[in-house]
Structure 1
Amino acid sequence: MTILEFSDSVLIERTPGEVYAMVSDVTRMGEWSPICKACWWDDPAAGATAGAWFTGRNETPEGRNGATGEVVPARTWETRSQVVVAEPDREFAWQVNDGWVRWGFRLEPAGENGTRLTQHWRFLPKGIAGFGERFGEHAQDQIALRSDHATSGIPVTLAAIKASAEGN
């Protein structure tokens, strides 16, 4: 069964403000994500504000589809995303490809100077329809592959953000 929504959390020994400054700087995503290798603001002056657009470059190595076992070739592609929530110290979220997928981070104070950081991902109905148009009979396999990437990548990304924030 394909998962269309997933989240995971980590405790970071930094304030919500410090963590928010990190995760809302999309140009740093390539430091942490196993798939997203680089991001840049389409209008650098806009920065991390609701409505701002950015582009991301993603890469996957050759591998196997967890659902079918088929070999999946290496792939590189770019996406455009729009910031939909930019609430300092609380939440930073964006939608990919004008509403196909929603990604983001929620922040909650934890202890005196800590933050519980939750990364969330959801495949939206517009994305399911778009994948149907783009991939035809292979749409479900492609959606399952993206789901595998999200569910395996979020814990890796959170661990990398934690290590970066805490200087490990």
Structure 2
Amino acid sequence: MPDTYEKLLEDTIEIDAPTDKVWSLVTDVPRMAKWSPQVVRSTVKGGVVREGATFTNLNKQGFKRWPTGGKVVRMNAPSATTPGEFAFRIRENHTVWSFHLEPTATGGTRLTERRETPDGISKLSLMLTKVVLGGQDGFTKELQDGIRQTLERIKAEAEGV
């Protein structure tokens, strides 16, 4: 089975809210189910989100459900003039998901969500994606669409819409 997958998925949105407000949303791992169409539930071990913290997710696709484990690998809060980043690595497939926050000249935030594969994707995850989740192309499209939906929902929350 060839390891054919997109090495980088990302999208960006402009939010009319300061970076500290957006930061408080993207680092609230238990609330991610409110924004991400794939996440059913997230639970942080010990309840505190910090670099090194671990968490479990319950994910979904239609009626299918599966657990994953994550670990916060970068947590650099933004300021009014410097960007910030929140990133976590998924144990089962080795992907790194991140949110990059940049302050804009108007006092808002440019938010980018990324899924990167610096160490590839595990063979088990590639096989399960092929057999259970509809194949790499379809699942990649779902992930890309999910990134857009997540960003739009975070924007609506941050702007109070």
Normalising by the smaller structure, the TM-score range is 0.7 to 0.9
Q: Which consecutive aligned stretches of 4+ in structure 1 deviate over 3 angstroms post-superposition?
A: 123-126, 134-146
Normalising by the residue count of structure 2, what TM-score does the alignment of the two structures yield? 0.84
Determine what percentage of the aligned residue pairs are the same residue. 28
Q: Secondary structure at the match of 1:125?
A: coil
| Structure 1 position 122 matched with structure 2 position 125 | no
Contact 2:39 2:57 (C-alpha < 8 Å) held by counterparts: yes
Amino acid at match of 2:23: Y
Query: For residues 98 and 128 of structure 1, what CA distance do their matches in structure 2 show?
Result: 7
2:73 aligned partner: 84
Amino acid at match of 1:26: V
Mapping 1:4-153, distance limit 5 Å:
4-44=7-47, 47-61=48-62, 74-89=63-78, 90-97=84-91, 100-131=94-125, 135=128, 138=131, 142-153=135-146
Q: How many residues align?
A: 153
Q: CA deviation at 1:100?
A: 1.2
Query: For residues 109 and 77 of structure 1, what CA distance do their matches in structure 2 show?
Result: 36
Query: For residues 112 and 136 of structure 1, what CA distance do their matches in structure 2 show?
Result: 42
RMSD of Structure 2 on Structure 1 (CA)? 2.4
Amino acid at match of 2:142: H
2:160 aligned partner: 167
Structure 2 gaps, min length 5: 79-83
1:71 aligned partner: none
| Structure 1 position 156 matched with structure 2 position 149 | yes
1:79 to 1:137, Cα distance in 2 relative to 1, 3 A: closer
Residues 58-115 of structure 1, C-alpha deviation per residue, up to 9 Å, x if partnerless? 1111xxxxxxxxxxxx310111100000011200000001661110100000123200
1:7 to 1:88, Cα distance in 2 relative to 1, 3 A: same
Query: For residues 112 and 25 of structure 1, what CA distance do their matches in structure 2 show?
Result: 25
Higher helix share: 1
Q: CA deviation at 1:142?
A: 4.1
| Greater Cα shift, 11-20 or 122-131 | 122-131
Query: For residues 154 and 25 of structure 1, what CA distance do their matches in structure 2 show?
Result: 16
Structure 1 gaps, min length 5: 62-73
Amino acid at match of 2:104: A
